[in-house]
Homo-oligomer: A and B are copies of this chain.
C-alpha cells in the first residue's frame, strides 16, 4: 500500500473535501484538497458491533480533529465523500444489507453523517470509489475513461467515463465479478448459486477451490503445496503465489489460469465501455510490477485480451496494475464528492 501523498506547500486555499471509506474492520479518512493532495489521514477501527450511529459519531470526531489540525473550520469543507460496501441504495444514501457490516442494515448512513458534520455528503459503493480514486490520482489519471477490476475474496470493480462514476440505476453498477463468462450447464457457481459468473473463476475463493481440485488430480502428486498443507497450513491465494514463485508447476498453472479468466472478462468490458485503461486492483496481484510472478500474470492477462478483442481496442487499451492500494477508497470518495460539488456549482 502506497503511503498517502503529503500536502504541497502553498495550497492551503484550495477547496477541501473529506473522503471516508467504511470497511468491516477499519474506517479510513482523509482531508483531500482540489488537486488530490491528502492533508491529513487517519484510520480508526470500525467496531461495527457498536452500530452505525456510534461509528459515524466517532468518524465525525476524527474529521473535526482534522479540521482543527489544519486550522480550517468544518464549514470550509465543500463536501464529504462516503464509501461503504453494499448492498446499498446509493441515491437514497442507505446501507441495505451489507454482508460485512451486519449491524448496519437499513441505516440511512449518508444523512446521518451529513447531520453530524453539517456538510453535504456524496455516497458511493466502496469498489466504485476505489475505481474513482485510481481514475483521479492513480493508474487511470491519464485517461478519460477507466475500468477497475479488483481481485480479492471476490471480484469487484468500478467504471468511470468522463468523470462520471457509473453507480447504476439500482446501485449495482460495476459489479464486474458478475459478468457471465460461461453459460454452460456445468459452469462454476458463486455462493448464491448463480452459474458462470467471472467471480466463480477468478476470485480468491475460486483460486482456493480450483487449487484444491487440481491437487486432487492424479498428475499433481509432486506439487510443493502438498507439504505445506500436510504441515497444517491453510491453502490461500498467497500460498499459491509463493509456491508459483518458487517454480511449482501446479501453482503457476493456477495463477496463469486466473489471468486467462480475467482477460476473458476484460474483453467483454472493452467491447462494452471501451475504456482508455483497464486497471487491476485488490489484495491479490501476485506481487504486481515488483515481482516476476506479477509481471508474468499481467502479461498473460494482456495476451488473452489480444487474442479475443477487436484489433483497435486490443492494441490501444492500457492494461495495468492499480497504484493506490488501500488508499484508493477514501481518495475516490473525496474525488466523487469533488466532481459532484463542482458540477453543482456549475449548474447553480
Nearest opposing residue in chain B for A260, CB measure: B183
B-contact bits for A162-174, CB 8 A (1 contact / 0 none): 1010111111111
Q: Determine if A271 is an interface residue (Cβ-Cβ < 8 Å).
A: yes
Are the CB atoms of B308 and A170 closer together than 8 Å? Answer: no
Question: Is B267 within 8 A of A269, CB to CB?
Answer: no
By beta carbon, the residue of chain B nearest A181 is B183
A219 touches B (CB below 8 Å):
no
With both beta carbons as reference points, the residue of chain B lying nearest to A261 in the complex is identified as B183
Total residues of chain A contacting the partner, CB 8 A: 51
Closest chain B CB from A277 CB (angstroms): 8
Q: How far is the CA of A164 from the CA of B144 in the complex (A)?
A: 13
- Check A182/B179 contact, CB under 8 A, given A145-B169, A159-B272, A346-B346: no
Complex contacts, A205 vs chain B, CB 8 Å: none
A264 CB-CB contact with B under 8 Å: yes
Q: How far is the CA of A270 from the CA of B194 in the complex (A)?
A: 14
Query: What is the distance, in angstroms, from A185's C-beta to the closest C-beta of chain B?
Result: 12
Once the chains bind, are B175 and A274 in contact (CB under 8 Å)? Answer: yes
B313/A264 in contact, CB under 8 A: no
Cβ of A124 to closest chain B Cβ, rounded Å: 14
* CB contact between A271 and one of B176, B261, B264, B275 (< 8 Å): that residue: B176
In the complex, A143 has a CB within 8 A of chain B:
yes
Q: Once bound together, how far apart are the Cα atoms of A167 and B83, in whole Å?
A: 28
Interface residues of A in 231-289 (CB under 8 A from B): 261, 264-265, 267-276
In the complex, A74 has a CB within 8 A of chain B: no
A177 — nearest CB in chain B belongs to which residue?
Answer: B271
In the complex, what distance in Å separates the CA atom of A162 from the CA atom of B167?
Answer: 11
Q: How far is the CB of A265 from chain B (nearest CB, A)?
A: 8
Given contacts A181-B180, A308-B194, contact A169 B346 (CB under 8 A): no
Say if the beta carbon of A345 comes within 8 Å of chain B: no
- B residues within 8 A CB of A181? 180-183
Are B274 and A172 in contact, CB atoms less than 8 angstroms apart? yes
Are A312's CB and B172's CB within 8 A? yes
The answer for the CA separation of A274 and B313 in the assembled complex, in Å, is 23
Give the distance in Å from the alpha carbon of A87 to the alpha carbon of B179 in the complex. 26
CB–CB B271/A171 < 8 A? no
- Given A166-B273, A268-B180, check contact A172 B313 (CB 8 Å): yes
* CA gap between A121 and B161 in the complex, in Å: 22
* Cα(A326)–Cα(B35), bound, Å: 47
The answer to whether A272 and B271 touch across the interface, beta carbons within 8 angstroms, is: no
- Per the 8 Å Cβ criterion, residues 157-210 of A in contact with B are 159, 161-162, 164, 166-176, 178-184, 194-196
- Partner of A272 from B164, B173, B309 at Cβ < 8 Å: B173
A172's contact among B166, B180, B194, B271, by CB below 8 Å, is which? B271
The reply to whether A264 and B172 form a contact with Cβ atoms under 8 Å apart is: no
B145 with A276: CB separation less than 8 A: no
**Which of chain B's residues has its CB closest to A167's CB?**
B274
Q: Which residues of B contact A179 (CB under 8 A)?
A: 179, 267-268, 271-272
* Minimum C-beta distance from A179 to chain B (A): 4
CB distance from A174 to the nearest CB of B (A): 7
Cβ 8 A contact of A170, one of B166, B169, B313:
B313
